[in-house]
Structure 1
Amino acid sequence: MKRISILFITNDVSHYVEKSTSYLISELKEQCNLTVWQNHGEIQSILSTLSAKPDFILLNDFHPIYGRYITGLERIDIPIGILMHDMHYKVGSRKRMMEHVKPSIIFTHYRDAFMKSYPEFQNEMVWFPHHVPEVIFHDYHLKKDIDILMMGSMITKLYPFRNQMYRHLKQRKGFIYHSHPGYDKERNTGVIGEDYARELNRAKLFLTCNSIYHYPLLKYVETLACNTLLLAPVTKELEDLGFKNEETFIAIDESNFFEKVNYYLVNESKRRHIAQKGFEMVRERHLTSIRVAEMIQHIHNVI
């Protein structure tokens, strides 16, 4: 298969706490000829600076955190794709941009939320679930000296179940919570990068939720990739990703999370067995190298 050339237009997020774009760029460089453009601009002007015409243009969303404002996209003959992150952000303006640009592919992290909010673009949609680079998210074989771990945002209106669990567990011996370091540039506070993965690896149990939007969030994949037992809500979309209750993770809700925590802290053999199966599932299905290979195959199909 021909090694394709991709122009990836994205904000410079290399110094941001949220690293998924940086991980994606690193792997794309391994699997295709990648040019990264990180400024606003007019597309013909941008193309004129390149040594060769790309086979495909990938936009990192219509979102100021991730993307750049590019004009003239409707006037070129190069296939265009979009990578979409949170589905709930400015749905109306996103739709207008997509109608204007007419992308050949829309890669989306969240299948069901996309289909609900953007049904008119279902023919262009490609499910692009979250992924992790194995060089960062793996089993560090650290001592499991944290009983129960929670990390991340506690904005009540977005994560009510996460708040409920925190309130019930915060005084418990063996419980640790790390606040979210923020979505913008890296700071001197917060657990991020490899330190974040190592902290996950130290935990016997990791608890989280899928927000009011019921997204299969990145934390689900990150936790399993570090060989730690995940306790979190389940959806059909999550099951389709390989998250099977009592096989690769533990499904919880508001009525049973406390019982499940107590049970899996005591039953070490079951806890270790399910965590191992989850770890293996992520390595088989959700590594960044696997996801990028899938992306490139979809791009090949349209160029």
Structure 2
Amino acid sequence: MNSNIDHRKPRLVFFQWDHQPNANAAGYLLLHMQQQVKCLATHFDVVVINRDCDYAEICERYQPDLTLFESGYRSHGSRRIRITNTNTHIAVPRLGLHNADAWCDRRAGFLSDMEQWGIETYFAIATMTPEYMPAVKENLFVWPNFIDPEVYHDYGQQKVIPAMLTGQAYGLYPWRQTVFPMIQDRYPCLVSPRHAYESKLASQLLSGEAYARALNASFVVPTCGTMGGEVVRKHFEIPGAKACLVTERTAAVEAAGFVDMENCVFVGGHNVVERLDYLFAHPDELGRITRAGYSLIHSRHTLSHRPQIYQWFTLNKGLQFGEKIIQSGPFGDLTKVSRASKLESIHIVGEASDRALLKQGDLLLDQGRVVEAKQRYARCLEYVSYLPEAKFCLAICALQEGDADRAYDLLVDLVKVTMTEYGALNPDPVEWAYFLLSLVCRGHFERARRLQYFYPSLSHGEMRRARLVIAQLGRSADAVVSERYGKDRKSIHELPDRSDSEWLAWFSDILERCQQPDLANVLRHAAGGGVTGEKVASLPFKRDAGWCLRLYSGLDGLMVKLHLNDVRPNVPPLPEFRYLWHLARRLVPHSQRGLLRRIRMALSRPLGIGN
């Protein structure tokens, strides 16, 4: 026997957000993060880095075989860490981890992080993520949810709770909104409070063993996978603690191995009472289904059944030219195939309610039925109030209705989420392109011209078109617009397939509706090749001459001239983006941030007499 064989686990450095215990946070959120590390440790020697750091220094110290970067998380009190010098140690394979809901509004921030860190292969915990980020789905694999069997197992609790209702039940969960009240009105129930993640009461929610024991003492526990048809942790936690899962039939749930009346119960509002009455009247059958569900989870969905990241690592080491890695399904293994075979990863598509509404809205918008399209997009926001695709489409509708101010406000909000709330290096390129175009539609051409290269590395086809418009309107038809970087940044948005001439004609009509007829005429000539520099020079552009805008622009220009990139805010120099606040925040030491917050609160408080 060869004694020189190296049996050590490969070393994985996991750059995880700072998910330190928070007195107000829901305990199960921290447990999820700890369980992810525990899962990775089944195959890797894991080093967790959850502080600001220098990538080169970390690689020198730990000599990793693989690095994994968590990104796109919607905070809930956790802190996104800052990682510098990621352009070093390029021989070490890198993966991104989208640790968030598939529809999360931090997806643009995730894609920005991936570009900044030089990562081109990604894993997601949500099975529906490829449907929500189609631009990267070829390089996107699923590392799905699971349970820790040390927490979720049969505790031998006496079954004393007919039904346990746990989890949120607002607009994102239409199935629960329908089914929960029907169950609660008919059967004795243990009802868990529905505190939001950010609520100060969230820490009082059951988590860990206490939650698992409550499940174990319940006969049936209903849950669903949101309007997205997702598989959430509860789908595994409930049967994993030996309670009967009652849920909605979706493609993702069936892909996980759930079969109606075999190891779970599929119901809707039309038959939930009938089904539960039957099960409670036939306890032997209820017990059989419960045991089968328990067996499914503990044989297929524990942390020891999630080798996908390790599989990618081993396959990638031996990957040859002309080969690629694919996944056999959202819960399946990764395999290596020839690119010539045309085989692709198997993803779940077509189940999410918001995606269906977006497609309906897009079709109506293409037919010129703007009011009906707006209704479809607005209905998306009833599911997810912050859904970026719906907000972006509503901005396009506003432009087509000639309401440039409304479009501008929506696009400002989208850019702020990525740049201010998430803190990305740059915004979604499509959102930024149409932010610039909305400025043009409002008559603020000079502002758009000044801001077009604020994010100089941002490259995309729609950015090129926005800069083409600015070049045509600002100089002459001979102006050449070229991207400074050849590789496009990925966007979360999908746009109609139009040629440049078709697009220019479309945007010319937008300008006309937004009361910019002169600009519209210039672009119409440009689309036909007839624009001249003399025609452009005579246009009556609105001047951004206010002292406030000059102040913002001057300060930003000063930052550039003095090479103060570490101090310069990474948001546009406009009051809408709180540029001065971000400048002050960068100038004030971290120890004085409390004072800065108090000043901000004082400035934002309404002024009154006699208070």
Q: What is aligned with 2:168?
A: 153
Counterpart CA distance in 1 for 2:276 and 2:201 is 32
TM score, norm. by length of structure 2: 0.46
Q: What is aligned with 1:97?
A: 113
Contact 2:18 2:81 (C-alpha < 8 Å) held by counterparts: no
1:216 counterpart letter in structure 2:
V
* Secondary structure at 1:81 match in 2: strand
Q: What is aligned with 2:48?
A: 36
Contact 1:207 1:230 (C-alpha < 8 Å) held by counterparts: yes
Classify 1:126/1:188 alpha carbon distance in 2 versus 1 (closer, same or farther; 3 Å).
closer
More helix by percentage: 2
Figure out how many residues of one structure are paired with residues of the other and give that number. Answer: 298
Q: What is aligned with 2:63?
A: 53
| The 10-residue stretch of structure 1 (83-92 or 226-235) with the greater mean CA deviation from structure 2 | 83-92
Q: By how many angstroms is 1:107 displaced? A: 1.7
Q: By how many angstroms is 1:30 displaced? A: 4.5
1:138 counterpart letter in structure 2:
H
Classify 1:193/1:152 alpha carbon distance in 2 versus 1 (closer, same or farther; 3 Å).
same
Q: By how many angstroms is 1:92 displaced? A: 2.7
1:160 counterpart letter in structure 2:
P
1:237-276 alignment, distance < 5 Å: 237-276=252-291
5+ residue gaps, structure 2, are: 1-6, 22-26, 318-611
| The 10-residue stretch of structure 1 (119-128 or 137-146) with the greater mean CA deviation from structure 2 | 119-128
| The 10-residue stretch of structure 1 (184-193 or 88-97) with the greater mean CA deviation from structure 2 | 184-193
* Secondary structure at 2:138 match in 1: coil
Deviations 1:29-86 (A, max 9, x none): 35321111111333224434x2x31111111223253653323434441211122221
Q: What is aligned with 1:177?
A: 191
Deviations 1:204-253 (A, max 9, x none): 11011211222111100001111111111121122111111122111112
Counterpart CA distance in 2 for 1:236 and 1:173 is 29
Q: What is aligned with 2:11?
A: 5
Counterpart CA distance in 2 for 1:14 and 1:23 is 14
Q: By how many angstroms is 1:120 displaced? A: 2.4
Q: What is aligned with 1:79?
A: 93
Q: By how many angstroms is 1:182 displaced? A: 4.5
Choose between structure 1 and 2 for higher RCO, CA contacts under 8 A separated by at least 6 residues: 1
Q: By how many angstroms is 1:297 displaced? A: 2.2
1:55 counterpart letter in structure 2:
D
Counterpart CA distance in 1 for 2:310 and 2:113 is 24
* Secondary structure at 2:149 match in 1: coil
1:8 counterpart letter in structure 2:
F
1:284 counterpart letter in structure 2:
S
Classify 1:237/1:170 alpha carbon distance in 2 versus 1 (closer, same or farther; 3 Å).
closer
Counterpart CA distance in 2 for 1:197 and 1:263 is 26
Contact 1:106 1:125 (C-alpha < 8 Å) held by counterparts: yes
Contact 2:168 2:194 (C-alpha < 8 Å) held by counterparts: yes
5+ residue gaps, structure 1, are: none
Q: By how many angstroms is 1:164 displaced? A: 2.3
Counterpart CA distance in 2 for 1:165 and 1:212 is 14
Contact 1:79 1:104 (C-alpha < 8 Å) held by counterparts: no
| The 10-residue stretch of structure 1 (90-99 or 113-122) with the greater mean CA deviation from structure 2 | 90-99
Counterpart CA distance in 2 for 1:165 and 1:9 is 40
2:252 counterpart letter in structure 1:
E
Contact 1:9 1:58 (C-alpha < 8 Å) held by counterparts: yes
* Secondary structure at 1:57 match in 2: strand
Q: What is aligned with 1:301?
A: 315
Classify 1:202/1:3 alpha carbon distance in 2 versus 1 (closer, same or farther; 3 Å).
same
1:299 counterpart letter in structure 2:
F
Match of 1:198 among 196, 201, 213: 213
Contact 2:71 2:97 (C-alpha < 8 Å) held by counterparts: yes
2:237 counterpart letter in structure 1:
E
1:94 counterpart letter in structure 2:
F
Deviations 1:109-142 (A, max 9, x none): 223x222221222232222111011100001111
Q: What is aligned with 1:17?
A: 28
Counterpart CA distance in 1 for 2:14 and 2:201 is 23
Q: By how many angstroms is 1:296 displaced? A: 1.6
* Secondary structure at 2:71 match in 1: coil
Classify 1:56/1:286 alpha carbon distance in 2 versus 1 (closer, same or farther; 3 Å).
same
Q: By how many angstroms is 1:300 displaced? A: 2.2
Counterpart CA distance in 1 for 2:52 and 2:181 is 44
Q: What is aligned with 1:165?
A: 179
TM score, norm. by length of structure 1: 0.89
Contact 1:27 1:289 (C-alpha < 8 Å) held by counterparts: yes
Counterpart CA distance in 1 for 2:276 and 2:172 is 23
* Secondary structure at 1:82 match in 2: strand
Contact 2:221 2:238 (C-alpha < 8 Å) held by counterparts: yes
1:195 counterpart letter in structure 2:
A
Match of 1:107 among 123, 137, 140: 123
Q: By how many angstroms is 1:188 displaced? A: 5.2
* Secondary structure at 1:157 match in 2: coil
Q: By how many angstroms is 1:157 displaced? A: 1.6
2:97 counterpart letter in structure 1:
L
| The 10-residue stretch of structure 1 (80-89 or 165-174) with the greater mean CA deviation from structure 2 | 165-174
1:252 counterpart letter in structure 2:
V
Q: What is aligned with 2:131?
A: 116
Counterpart CA distance in 2 for 1:257 and 1:173 is 12
* Secondary structure at 1:133 match in 2: coil
More strand by percentage: 1
Q: Give me the CA root mean square deviation.
A: 2.3
Contact 1:110 1:216 (C-alpha < 8 Å) held by counterparts: yes
Match of 1:68 among 74, 81, 88: 81
| The 10-residue stretch of structure 1 (78-87 or 128-137) with the greater mean CA deviation from structure 2 | 78-87
Contact 2:71 2:113 (C-alpha < 8 Å) held by counterparts: no
Match of 2:151 among 136, 140, 151: 136
Q: By how many angstroms is 1:173 displaced? A: 4.2
Q: What is aligned with 2:488?
A: none
